[in-house]
Amino acid sequence: MPCALTFEIVEQRGLTAELELALEIGDPPVPAPASAPAPAPDPKECGLVMLAEAGFPVLGDIPRAGLPSHGDPRWQFREAGEAPDSWWPEEDLHPPAVGRAAEGLFELAVSQATQRVLTRGHPWILRDAQTGDCSGLLPGTLVRVVGPKRESLGLARVEGARSLVARMWAERAGRDAKAPSVEARVARALKRRRGLLHPAAGEPRTDAFRLVHGEADALPGIAVDRLGSLLRVLVTGRCCDPLRPRLLDALVGGLAEQIGPDPSVVEVLHLREQPRGRLECVRLVRGAQPAPWNGGASPEASESPEASESPEASEKDRRIVVHELGLAYLVDPGLGEPERSSPGIGLFLDQRENRRRLMERARGGGHWLNLFAHTGAFSVALLAAGADRVTSVDLSAGYLRWLEENLALNRDRGDLARRHRGVRGDGRRFLARLAPHERFEGIILDPPTAAAAGRRFWSVARDLRPLVEGALTHLQPGGVLLVSRNDRRGKQGLEEVVESAARSAGVAIEIVGEAPAGSDFPRLVGFDEGEPFKAVLVRRRS
């Protein structure tokens, strides 16, 4: 019986695709007078056969090389108009491979040392001599993790990096246990942030914060920030490659009230292992190009008068305005320089609660010092809260210009720029040149891990302790010092570093307490790599 099949790929996710089919079945041949009428053909059976012959076997159609699928093997084959709103399989599919478990999942064997680490809560499977080989699996493939005695340790998703083999997806998942779906994980992450998404009456406006924080939100290798009505997806691993469309659908659906049904979505590749050659690190993946702020040139352009006037420099300025604790700030989604790797936005969202802590103390006025000021979010917050004066020090003239623009954005809080002094220079030299009697009500030390500082390279491991020592000598009695460190390789804890510096300086201090990131950067116990920084707040005794 003649049959004709045409199809179009509607959407593809990894090895799975949604096809729109048109099947035409011709008239059956006229039977001989003595023979029985030929049975009517089954359209679905015809479709299954022809798709397999074309190299597109239907999920679960095992006799024709379709990949395994849980449940009814043909549930994915629907008549027109019968497709559900969301039909995609919960688990990602992978090609056949050696080591597949009976229930259809590849088994990844790990060593006893790795088992101990996973049992303590660390979510990464790092390669060692006893790690199983899953090199033939695509990133994102769901695998079952088994220990040396073949005990089940849970489910993981393949990362595919040289050292980082996989990231845990569900701990202690038994053979019949079902891991939470992507949608359920997103819903839980949004519930964690309901105080930011639905602030109480009278709360100052904040529309810049983290929505998904990777492993701590059970969505490994991916983070999502809200920047006003824009979503910025930070991809730090490949394990969630096939899950991002579903993750974004769930986020956009859950945030429709705050950001609308079709927000701009920017994706940033922030990967340790990148392919050679040119790579588009930043791209717009959904929605319209966000309308940029038009109040000035890019901070890079301000390094020289000639550059600030060039059309190319102004084209790179795609900054937008966001709000934090009632204050306005400029941020850069990165679309102006799509090939720039690891771009920052100009606002450290993880320091929001520390800005809040210091704003409460700045209500009493005083002169404050912000070393490594960056674009000046701490400076703006202190001045708006009531600080009499703030001095901001940074090596970048571009960042200091950006700081001035942030001050100008908040004119409704008064003439903040009049009480501000920007100094271009190295923070170590600035402290060394201060007069011994000069004191500050508070000092902020939030340095980078490493940076070029003219001929004096900055290293937080080497330079933080003497910097803290110098800062403590210039604190008023009762003044506070915020010290933040994002280097986890230090042999000493941060409090130990500060207390050692205080002894060397002959300054009596008391530790007010840790100064962690906000609740939108949740901490996963046993996973220090997921913490954006360590910070401590200290006070100089009278």
pLDDT at 15 over 70: no
Of residues 86 and 360, the one with the higher pLDDT is 360
Which of 89, 123, 146 terminates a domain? The answer is 89
Q: Is 378 in contact with 445 (CB distance < 8 Å)?
A: no
Domain CATH code at residue 227: 3.30.750.80
Instruction: Tell me what pLDDT residue 21 has.
Output: 76
Give start and end residues of each alpha helix (H) in 110-158: 112-119
Is 319 part of a structural domain of the chain? no
pLDDT at 380 over 50: yes
**Residue 205 identity:** R
Is 230 part of a structural domain of the chain? yes
Instruction: Tell me what pLDDT residue 343 has.
Output: 80
pLDDT band at 462; cut points 50, 70, 90 = confident
Instruction: Tell me what pLDDT residue 75 has.
Output: 46
Which of 171, 199, 218 terminates a domain? The answer is 171
Most confident range, picked from 9-18, 277-286, 289-298, 311-320: 277-286
* Count of alpha carbons within 13 angstroms of residue 356, beta-carbon side: 16
pLDDT digits (tens, 9 = 90+) for 164-176: 999 999 986 555 4
- For residue 208, the surrounding DSSP H or E stretch is strand 208-213
Choose the weakest-confidence range: 295-299, 304-308, 415-419. 304-308
**Dihedral sign, Cα of residue 363, residue 369, residue 374, residue 375:** positive
Of residues 290 and 52, the one with the higher pLDDT is 290
Coil vs helix vs strand at 79: coil
Coil vs helix vs strand at 354: helix
Q: What is the mean pLDDT of residues 206-234?
A: 97
Is 320 part of a structural domain of the chain? no
pLDDT digits (tens, 9 = 90+) for 133-152: 988 888 999 999 999 999 99
Token duo for residue 50: 């022809």
Instruction: Tell me what pLDDT residue 164 has.
Output: 95
Coil vs helix vs strand at 359: helix
Domain CATH code at residue 131: 2.30.130.10
pLDDT band at 17; cut points 50, 70, 90 = confident
pLDDT band at 299; cut points 50, 70, 90 = very low
For residues 359 and 494, membership in a common domain is answered with yes
Give start and end residues of each alpha helix (H) in 255-348: 256-259, 305-308, 311-316
Q: What is the mean pLDDT of residues 392-404?
A: 96
Is 334 part of a structural domain of the chain? no
Instruction: Tell me what pLDDT residue 339 has.
Output: 84
Choose the weakest-confidence range: 127-131, 459-463, 516-520. 459-463
Instruction: Tell me what pLDDT residue 392 has.
Output: 98
For residues 142 and 259, membership in a common domain is answered with no
What percentage of the chain exceeds 70 in pLDDT? 76
Tell me the C-alpha distance between 88 and 81, whole Å.
Answer: 16
Instruction: Tell me what pLDDT residue 1 has.
Output: 46
Choose the weakest-confidence range: 49-53, 131-135, 428-432. 49-53
Encode burial over 247-281: b for 16+ CB neighbours within 10 A, e otherwise: bbbbbbebbeeebeeebbbbbbbbbeeeeeeeeeb
Q: What is the mean pLDDT of residues 373-397?
A: 97
For residues 85 and 130, membership in a common domain is answered with no
Q: What total number of domains does the chain contain?
A: 4
Tell me the helix, strand and coil percentages in the chain, rounded to 5: 30, 25, 45
For residues 150 and 193, membership in a common domain is answered with no
Tell me the C-alpha distance between 263 and 253, whole Å.
Answer: 10
Token duo for residue 454: 């003219």
Of residues 110 and 173, the one with the higher pLDDT is 110
What's the domain range around 17?
1-89
Of residues 455 and 249, the one with the higher pLDDT is 249
End-to-end Cα spacing for the chain: 97
For residues 20 and 160, membership in a common domain is answered with no
For residues 355 and 502, membership in a common domain is answered with yes
Residue whose structure tokens are 């050659």: 277
Instruction: Tell me what pLDDT residue 308 has.
Output: 40
For residues 359 and 410, membership in a common domain is answered with yes
pLDDT at 69 over 80: no
Q: How far is CA 442 from CA 359, 367, 515, 517, 537, in A?
A: 11, 7, 15, 19, 10
Tell me the C-alpha distance between 493 and 512, whole Å.
Answer: 16
Is 96 part of a structural domain of the chain? no
pLDDT at 302 over 60: no
pLDDT band at 9; cut points 50, 70, 90 = confident
Maximum pairwise Cα distance, the chain: 116
* Count of alpha carbons within 13 angstroms of residue 529, beta-carbon side: 9
Instruction: Tell me what pLDDT residue 304 has.
Output: 37
Choose the weakest-confidence range: 189-198, 290-299, 372-381, 390-399. 290-299
For residues 493 and 409, membership in a common domain is answered with yes
Domain CATH code at residue 381: 3.40.50.150
Of residues 34 and 254, the one with the higher pLDDT is 254
pLDDT digits (tens, 9 = 90+) for 325-353: 999 999 999 999 888 877 889 999 999 99
Is 297 part of a structural domain of the chain? no
Average pLDDT over all residues of the chain: 84
Name the CA radius of gyration of the chain, rounded. Answer: 29
pLDDT at 73 over 70: no
Q: Is 524 in contact with 482 (CB distance < 8 Å)?
A: no
- Strands annotated E in 132-207: 142-146, 152-158, 164-171
Coil vs helix vs strand at 283: strand
Token duo for residue 479: 């003044």
Instruction: Tell me what pLDDT residue 277 has.
Output: 56
Residue whose C-alpha is closest to residue 382's, from 441, 424, 434? 441
For residues 153 and 71, membership in a common domain is answered with no
For residues 398 and 509, membership in a common domain is answered with yes
Tell me the C-alpha distance between 482 and 445, whole Å.
Answer: 6
Is 123 part of a structural domain of the chain? yes
pLDDT band at 448; cut points 50, 70, 90 = confident
For residues 217 and 157, membership in a common domain is answered with no
Which of 89, 123, 157 terminates a domain? The answer is 89
Tell me the C-alpha distance between 206 and 228, whole Å.
Answer: 9
For residues 16 and 145, membership in a common domain is answered with no
pLDDT at 523 over 60: yes
Instruction: Tell me what pLDDT residue 78 has.
Output: 65
Is 40 part of a structural domain of the chain? yes
Q: Is 439 in contact with 478 (CB distance < 8 Å)?
A: no
Choose the weakest-confidence range: 187-201, 217-231, 274-288, 466-480. 274-288
pLDDT band at 26; cut points 50, 70, 90 = low
